[in-house]
Chain A
Amino acid sequence: GESVGLHLPTLSVQEGDNSIINCAYSNSASDYFIWYKQESGKGPQFIIDIRSNMDKRQGQRVTVLLNKTVKHLSLQIAATQPGDSAVYFCAENMMGGAQKLVFGQGTRLTINP
Chain B
Amino acid sequence: DAGVTQSPTHLIKTRGQHVTLRCSPISGHKSVSWYQQVLGQGPQFIFQYYEKEERGRGNFPDRFSARQFPNYSSELNVNALLLGDSALYLCASSLGVNTGELFFGEGSRLTVL
- B90: A residues at CB distance < 8 A: 43-44
Please indicate the chain B residues that have their CB under 8 angstroms from the CB of A69 in the complex: none
| Residue numbers in B under 8 Å from A102 (CB-CB) | 45
Q: How many A-B residue pairs have CB under 8 A?
A: 71
With contacts A45-B104, A46-B101, A49-B101 known, is A97 near B45, CB below 8 A? no
Interface magnitude class on chain B: 20 to 34
Whether B102 pairs with A101 at a CB distance below 8 angstroms is yes
Interfacial residues of chain A within 81-109, with CB under 8 A of chain B in the complex: 89, 91, 93, 95-106
- Give the A-binding residues of B (Cβ under 8 A): 4, 31, 33, 35, 40-45, 48, 50, 55-56, 58, 90, 92, 94, 97-107
- Between A and B, 12 residue pairs with Cβ closer than 8 Å are A34-B100, A43-B104, A46-B101, A98-B55, A98-B56, A99-B48, A99-B50, A99-B94, A99-B97, A99-B98, A99-B100, A101-B100
